[in-house]
Structure 1
Amino acid sequence: MVRLNRASQTYFFPVHLTDQLLPSAVFYATVGPLVIYFAMHRLIIRPYLRAQKERELEKQRENTASDILQKKQEAEAAVSLSRN
């Protein structure tokens, strides 16, 4: 049964699934979605997040390498100006 309270009114929605309580149906209704969730999390979501994190790290490495190269060139230019 689903109950919804809105202002001073209460709505009841009876949800009748079956006359009998079958243990196998209860088992599959609880275990099935959990297994599907964990499988999707393990096989799809984790690898995607891991790949995304690796892409971000690689981008940071490239940015850092270009910054270091630029600063090195600036330092060499400053040294060559001071020698002259």
Structure 2
Amino acid sequence: MSESLKYVLDCRFKPERPLDETIGHIVTHVFLVFGVWFALLMTGLLFVGTRFEWAAYVLHGIAWTIMALEISMMVWGSIKLWESGE
């Protein structure tokens, strides 16, 4: 696993890492997740009205699962940051 992904999943402020680098890692992570989510939604729309309409439901289900996980991870990270007092 890459260092930046480990840091984002760790959700703790590390004093040795500059704040602008930390914010950059978080922003990159959020944009990647939203990009994948949007791509899955748009790809799913291609299948609506065809005989592969089930693929649209599958892709939209995956997209919304990713979004729910991202939101819960952001909430969890915010709670951990608030509890640490930083």
On whether the aligned pair clears a TM of 0.5, the verdict is: no
TM-score by length of 2: 0.40
Q: Relative to total residues, which structure has the larger helix share, 1 or 2?
A: 2
**Greater relative contact order (Cα < 8 A, sep 6+):** 2
Look at both structures and tell me which one has the larger radius of gyration over its CA atoms: 1
TM-score by length of 1: 0.41
